[in-house]
Amino acid sequence: MIPVKVKEIAFDLSMNPVLLLVDEAEVKVLPIWIGHFEAHAIAIALEGGTTPRPLTHDLLKTLCDEFGGAITRVVINDVRDGTYYAQLHILKKDSESVVDARPSDAIALALRSVAPIFLSDKVAGLTLTMDELFSEERQKALRQLLEEHRKAVKKSLH
C-alpha cells in the first residue's frame, strides 16, 4: 500500500469536482471525480472549518466516537468500470472492522479523524505523474475555458 494525502479539489472542464490524491513526494497523483456535496465536505475538513449544524460526515464521526470506535485508516482498494472503491478501517476495543465506502465519503471521514489514507497496489498502478495530469494541452484547454467564463461574467454585468 502507498500512503497518500489530499492535495486539493480541482475542477475539470465541465466544472465537476476532482479530488487529487498525491503520494508523499507529490510526484504521483490519482484524480477521483466526486460529487459537489462531497467536495464541499472535504473542503471544509481541509480548511479546518466547522458548520453551525453537523454535516453527515461530522455526524458519522461523532457516532463512531460515541460508540467507542476510531477510524484508523482509509484504503482506496479497487476500481471497477471507472468507479473507485474504498474501505474504512474502524477499531473498536481490540477488534477491527472494515466497512465498504465511497472514496469521497471515506476521505471526508479520514480528514475529520486525522486518519491516514492509502492506495492499494492495484489502484496505485493507475496514478499519473503531475506532468501527465497537467499537460500543456490540458492547461491550454483550461485557460480557454476560464477565459470564456470571464467573458461571459463580464458580459452579464453589463
- Nearest Cα neighbor of 111 from 16, 30, 2, 21 is 21
In the predicted structure, residue 104 carries a pLDDT above the cut 70? yes
86: Cβ–Cβ under 8 A, 6 or more apart, which residues? 74, 75, 76, 77, 100, 101, 102, 103, 105, 106, 107
Residue-wise pLDDT for 6-65, tens only, equals 988 888 778 888 899 999 988 888 888 999 899 989 998 988 888 888 888 888 898 888
State the pLDDT confidence band at 143, using cuts at 50, 70 and 90: low
Q: How many angstroms separate the CA atoms of 101 and 63, rounded?
A: 16
State the pLDDT confidence band at 75, using cuts at 50, 70 and 90: very high
| Mean pLDDT in residue range 96-107 | 95
Integer angstrom CA distances of residue 73 from 16, 41, 45, 51, 138: 27, 18, 16, 24, 33
- Nearest Cα neighbor of 44 from 18, 73, 89, 9 is 9
Which pTM was predicted? 0.79
Distance spanning both ends of the chain, measured CA to CA: 54
Q: What is the pLDDT of residue 10?
A: 85
Q: Which domains, from first to last, does the chain contain? A: 2-130 (3.10.690.10)
